[in-house]
Structure 1
C-alpha cells in the first residue's frame, strides 16, 4: 500500500512539473505577444501620424476625412489585395518622370492664396459698393445745383443774345453722368435767321462772331460770381462796327446797374455817340513816342 501511495505521489509530481512547464511556456508566449502588441500599437500610432499629415490632419474616423469614398472602397479588400494595390500605385509613381515632391504642398499653398484673394475681392467689392452709395448721394446733391447754375447762365446768355437779335444757348455737355472728365460747357449760337444753332467753334464762326459770344458769355457769368471789379481788355477786336457798338452799349448798360461790379474797359479806340451816364468815367491816355513834345491836349 505504501508502494501504491509512492507511485501515486510520483505521478502527481510529474503532472505538476508538466503544468509548471506549460505555465512557463504560456507566460513566455504572453510576454512575446504583449511585446508584439506594443510594437504594433507604436506602428499604428506612427502610421496614424503619417496618415494625418497626408490627409489634412484627419483620420478615417473623423467626419471631415477627405478620402472617405476611397477608404470605404478598400476597407473590404483583403490584406493581399491592399498590398497589390500599393505595389500597383508605387509602380505608377516610379514610371512618372520629373516627379515633383512638393506638388501637394505647392497646391495647398496656392489654395490658401486663392482663398486670401477671394476674401480681398469680397472686401474690395463691399468697399466699392459703399463708395458707390456715397458718390450717388453726393451726385444727387451736386447735380441739381450744377444744372441750376447752368440754367442761370443760359437764361442771361439767351437774353443778351436776343437783345442783339441773335440766338444763343449755354448747355451742359457730357457723355455720361458718371464720366466727369467729359463734363463741359457748350455754347450754342445762331447769327443768321436761315441758320441753325451751332456750337461755338473757331472753324465755324468768324473771329468777330466768336468775340461777341465770348463777351456776352462773360457778362452772363457776372450773375453767379461776386467780385469787386472786372477788367475787360480790347473786347472789340475782330468785331464789325455793328457788333462793336452793340457790345459796348450792352457792357455799359450792365456795368452801371445797381449791385454790379466795377468794370475797367481797355480799348484802343472809343466809339462816338455811346450811351453814357453819371456812373461811367472815361480816361484817355496819350503816351506815345511819336507824339511831339510841344503838342498840348485840351483838358476839356
Structure 2
C-alpha cells in the first residue's frame, strides 16, 4: 500500500528509465539528470519509445503507437516491463516519498500478451489507483498533454478548442483544483436546487394532500362532535327517561300518600258513621221500647177508660131501666161514684191523650232516630264503598309504584352505565328527536375515515418538516450560490494572474522569433465556455487567433512552444516530456526554442526530457544528451555530454 506524501516534501526527478522487452528495446537503462535531457537520433531509432515507456509506466491512458498495451511488447516475447526510477534522496530531513527509506523509488508496469498488466512500487504490487494517488502527490499528471507531449501533440494542442486548451493549462499549473471546486460547488448547487425543487414539489403535493385531509379532518371533527353530541344525547335521553320515571314515581308516591291519607280519613269517618249508626240504632231501639211501653200504657189506659166508661154506661143503662116493672128501677146509686167514675174517665182520657201525645212524639223522635240511623248506615256504606275503591286504587298504585320503582332502578343502572348524570328538563321524546336528527347528520359522514385525524396530523407534521426543509434548502441554495460565486471569483482571479504573468513572457519569447502575440481568456464568466486563445502574428503581421487554418504548421509549432516555454515556470510537475516539438520549425526557430529551454533551466528545478530528430547546432551546455540508434532491429542508447 502506497502512503500519501506531504506536499511540503522535496521535489523528485527521474533518475532512470529501464526498458525490458518493450517495443524495439530488448533491455536498456536510460539515465537522466535534473534539468534538460535531450534524446536524439535518427527516425525509427526508438527515441519516442522512451517517452512512451515513461507514459506507460506512469499509467497514461494515451498511447500514440497502439490501441492495446500488449502491442507494445517486443515481438516474440510474452511479457514486457517498463520501470521509472525516481530520485528519493533525503533533503533537509525529508524525502519526496517519505514512506520509502531508499534513495531511489522504482515504479514499474508489467505488460503481458494476454492483455493483463499490473503495477509495482518498489517491487510490491500496487493498484493503479494507488499509483495515481502517488503521482498526484508528486504533482505529476501523465495524462496532461502539457506534461508529456508525444509526437503531434503540439499540433493537437493547437487544434483543440479553446475550452480544452484552458483545461490542459489549468491541470498543468495546478489551477484545476479551482475548476474542480467550481464544478463541485455547481454540482452541490445543482443538487441543492434539485433538492429544493424536490422539496417544493413534495411541499406542493403535501399541501394538496394536507388540504384533502384537512377537509376530511374537519369532517372527522364534525363527525366526532356529532358522535359526542349523540353520546351526550343518548346519555341525556336515558337520564331524561330516568327523570321522567322518577317524576312518575314521585307522582305515584304523592298520589299514594294522598290516597292513604284519604283512606285514613274515610276509615275514620267510616268508623265514626258505624259508631254513630250503632248509637242511633240503640237510641231507636230504646225509643221502640218506649213506644211499646207507651202503647202498653195506652192499652192499659184504654182498658181503664173502657172499664170506666163501661161502668158509666152501665149506670146510664140502669137509669134507663128504671121503668115500671123493672126490678132495678128502684135501685139507687150513689152520686159520688158516678162523678168519681166520670172524673176517672176524664183522667183516663187525659192520660190516654197524654200517652198518645207522648207516642206521637216518640214516634217522631223514633223517625228522626231512624233517619239518623239510616243516614249513618248509608254514610257508612258509601264510606265503605269509597274506602274499598281507595283500597283498590291504593293496591293498584302500590303495584304500579313497585313496578315503576323497579323500572326506575333499572333505568338508573342503565343511565349510570352510559355515564355521569345529566340534569335536564327536556322530555325524552324531544331528546329522541334530536338523536334522530343527529343520526341523519352522521349518516352523511359515514365515509369519513377513522384515520383522518392521524393522516391530517401526520401530513401537517410532514408539511412543517418540508417547510423547514424548504427553508433549509433555500438557505443551502443561497450558501451554494455564494460558494459557487466565491469559487468562480477565485478561479478567475488566479487564472487572470497566471495569464497576466504568462502573457509578458510569451510576448518576450515571441519577440525572439520575430513575432508578436497575446494570450486571451474568453468567456471567463462561464466556466463551461471559458477558453484560452493564443494570438500570434509573424513578420510584422497583426496577431491572429491561433488555429489550423490561419498559420502554417511551423508558425503554429513555434507559437505553441513559445506559450509552453512561457508557461513552464508555473507548471507544477517536476518532470516534462516533449517529443519532436520542432518537427515543423525552420532551423532558426528550432535553435531559438532550444536556447530558450536552456535559459529556463537556469530558473527552473524541473526536469525536461526532450526528443529531437535533428542535430544540436550552436546549442551548448546541454546537461545530458542521450543518443539512440537501432542496431539489427534492437534499439540502443548512449549517453554523451
Normalising by structure 1, we get a TM-score of 0.56
**Does 2:518 match 1:171?**
no
**Equivalent in the alignment of 1:215:** 561
**Equivalent in the alignment of 2:631:** 289
The 5 Å alignment of 1:129-278 reads 129-136=474-481, 138-139=483-484, 142-163=487-508, 164=510, 165-171=515-521, 173=523, 176=526, 182=528, 184-191=530-537, 195=542, 197-198=544-545, 200-202=546-548, 205-257=551-603, 259-274=604-619, 276=620, 278=621
CA distance in 1, matches of 2:276, 2:580: 158
Shift of 1:239: 3.0
Select the structure that is richer in strand: 2
**Equivalent in the alignment of 1:66:** none
Q: Is the Cα contact below 8 Å between 2:519 and 2:535 reproduced in 1? A: yes
Shift of 1:242: 4.8
SS of 1:231's equivalent in the other structure is strand
CA distance in 1, matches of 2:466, 2:556: 52
Instruction: Choose from 470, 486, 506 the match for 1:125.
Output: 470
SS of 1:162's equivalent in the other structure is helix
**Equivalent in the alignment of 1:18:** 393
Shift of 1:234: 1.6
**Equivalent in the alignment of 1:51:** none
The runs of 5 or more residues in structure 2 that have no matched partner are 1-271, 278-379, 420-431, 633-639
Matched positions, count: 244
Distance 1:188 1:283, change over 3 A: closer
Q: Is the Cα contact below 8 Å between 1:168 and 1:197 reproduced in 2? A: no
CA distance in 1, matches of 2:402, 2:477: 83
Give CA deviations for 1:216-242 in whole Å, capped at 9, x if unaligned.
Answer: 343344333444443322221233445
Give CA deviations for 1:171-205 in whole Å, capped at 9, x if unaligned.
Answer: 264564xxx6x27542332325655653x544655
Give CA deviations for 1:107-154 in whole Å, capped at 9, x if unaligned.
Answer: 878767754653454344244334335535644654444234312331
Shift of 1:254: 1.9
**Equivalent in the alignment of 1:3:** 274
Bigger relative CO (Cα 8 Å, ≥ 6 apart): 2
Distance 1:221 1:110, change over 3 A: farther
RMSD: 4.9
Distance 1:216 1:150, change over 3 A: farther
SS of 2:576's equivalent in the other structure is strand
Q: Is the Cα contact below 8 Å between 1:231 and 1:265 reproduced in 2? A: yes
CA distance in 1, matches of 2:548, 2:404: 114
CA distance in 1, matches of 2:595, 2:400: 136
SS of 2:595's equivalent in the other structure is helix
SS of 2:499's equivalent in the other structure is helix
Q: Is the Cα contact below 8 Å between 2:575 and 2:608 reproduced in 1? A: yes
Larger Rg: 2
Q: Is the Cα contact below 8 Å between 1:149 and 1:224 reproduced in 2? A: no
CA distance in 2, matches of 1:135, 1:118: 24
CA distance in 1, matches of 2:433, 2:440: 11
Distance 1:115 1:146, change over 3 A: same
Distance 1:247 1:184, change over 3 A: farther
Shift of 1:169: 1.2
Segment of structure 1 superposing worse, 248-257 or 131-140: 131-140
SS of 1:272's equivalent in the other structure is coil
Give CA deviations for 1:236-289 in whole Å, capped at 9, x if unaligned.
Answer: 1233445434433322222223x4424332211135334x4x5x3352515233
SS of 1:150's equivalent in the other structure is helix
Q: Is the Cα contact below 8 Å between 2:516 and 2:543 reproduced in 1? A: no
CA distance in 2, matches of 1:237, 1:156: 28
CA distance in 1, matches of 2:549, 2:458: 58
CA distance in 2, matches of 1:15, 1:103: 60
CA distance in 2, matches of 1:191, 1:246: 17
CA distance in 2, matches of 1:253, 1:127: 57
Distance 1:188 1:110, change over 3 A: farther
**Equivalent in the alignment of 1:52:** none
CA distance in 1, matches of 2:275, 2:550: 152
